[in-house]
Copies of this chain bind each other. A is one copy, B any other.
Amino acid sequence: MAKQFDTIALVGIGLIGSSIAREIKDKGLARSVTVSSRSDATLKRAQELGLGDRYTTSAAEAVKDADLVVVSVPVGASGAVAAEIAANLKPGAIVTDVGSTKGSVIAQMAPHMPPGVHFIPGHPIAGTEYSGPDAGFIGLFKGRWCILTPLPETDEAAKAKLRTFWETLGSMVDDMDPEHHDKVLAIVSHLPHIIAYNIVGTADDLEAVTESEVIKYSASGFRDFTRLAASDPIMWRDVCLHNKDAILEMLARFSEDLAYLQRAIRWGDGDKLFDLFTRTRAIRRSIIQAGQDTEMVDFGRHAMDQK
C-alpha cells in the first residue's frame, strides 16, 4: 500500500497505540515510526515486539520530524503530553488522539497547539479488556467506527488525510460535535463500564454468598460483566473524571429506571417487566444486523470451547 506519511510518532504504546503500530507496519503506511512511552519497561517491550523504527521515553523527542502524531494515553494525561510536545511539532503536522472523552481532551490539548499544526481529536470505538503493548493486534479497528471531532477551523485536507488513515486501518469514520460525542459515549461505553465495575464490586462484597460461588456459577450471567470490569483501571478512572457531567446524567437516568423496575418487582407487576424485557430484544437484533456484534450463541464462546 502507498505510504500515507513520511514519519508517524506514536505517543503511548498500549492496546490502541500498539494496534496502530502493527497496522502501519503491516500496511506500509509510513517510512518511519517513532514509538514513545514514558515507561522504560513499556518502551523496552515495544522494542522487543518490533513495533517501531525508533524508540524514546521523551514525547517531545518523538514528535520532532513527525507528519502524524497519534497520542494514545489515558485522557487525564493529554494536557501534559500536549504541553510537552508543543514546541517540537513540525508545521503542517497532524496531531490526533484516541481518547474516550473529547470535550476534556480538547480543553487540555488545544491551547498548546501552535499555529500551522492541525489538531484533529479522534476516538476509535474499539478496544478489548486487555491492555499494554502486547495486547494490540491487527484487525482491532476492522468494521469499527472511528469518530473525529474536528474544531471549527480544521483544515479540510488534513481531515481528509486522517480519515483515509483510519479507513485504511479498516474503520468507518464519522464526524461529530465533541459535546455530542461525550453524551453518546457516556451511554454506549462509560455507563456500561461503570455498571460492570459496580456489579462486580457488589458481588465481591457479599457475606452470604462466597467469592468461590460467584466464580463457579458465573456462567449464568455475571461473567458477561467481568470482561468490561477487567478493563484498564487508569484509563477508566480518567474517563470517569473527564466526562463527569454526561456520565452523571446517564447514571441518574439509569438509577431512575432501575427504581421503576425494582418497584415493579416488589409489587409483582409482571406486565411492566414483560414489556421492558421484550423491547430490549429488538436492540440486540439491530446491533447484529449492523455488524457490530456476532449472532453466534454466547458471543461465540461455545464455538471456541468446542475447538
Contact = CB atoms under 8 A, between A and B. Distances in A.
Interface of A: 100, 125-130, 135, 137, 139-140, 142-145, 147, 174, 180, 183-185, 187-206, 208-209, 211, 213-231, 233-234, 236-238, 240-241, 244, 247-248, 250-251, 253-255, 257-259, 261-262, 264-266, 268, 270, 273-274, 276-281, 283-287, 290, 292-294, 296-306
Nearest to A130: B297
A192 B225 contact: yes
A215 B287 CA distance: 5
Nearest to A276: B201
Contact of A266 (B244, B258, B280): B244
Contacts of A220: 100, 125-127, 185, 188-189, 192
A254 B202 contact: yes
A169 B241 CA distance: 48
Given A197-B261, A257-B202, A229 B280 contact: yes
6 contacts: A129-B298, A194-B258, A198-B258, A229-B284, A233-B281, A298-B299
Contacts of A223: 284, 287, 292-293
Contacts of A203: 187-188, 283
Given A265-B240, A265-B244, A280-B226, A199 B254 contact: yes
A227 B298 contact: yes
Contacts of A135: 297
B258 A255 contact: yes
Contacts of A274: 233-234, 237
Contacts of A129: 284, 297-298
Contacts of A221: 188-190, 192-193, 196, 228
Contacts of A244: 265-266, 268
A147 B219 CA distance: 13
A228 to B, nearest CB: 6
B304 A204 contact: no
A92 to B, nearest CB: 31
B208 A183 contact: yes
Given A188-B217, A244-B268, 5 more contacts: A128-B302, A193-B221, A197-B261, A202-B253, A226-B287
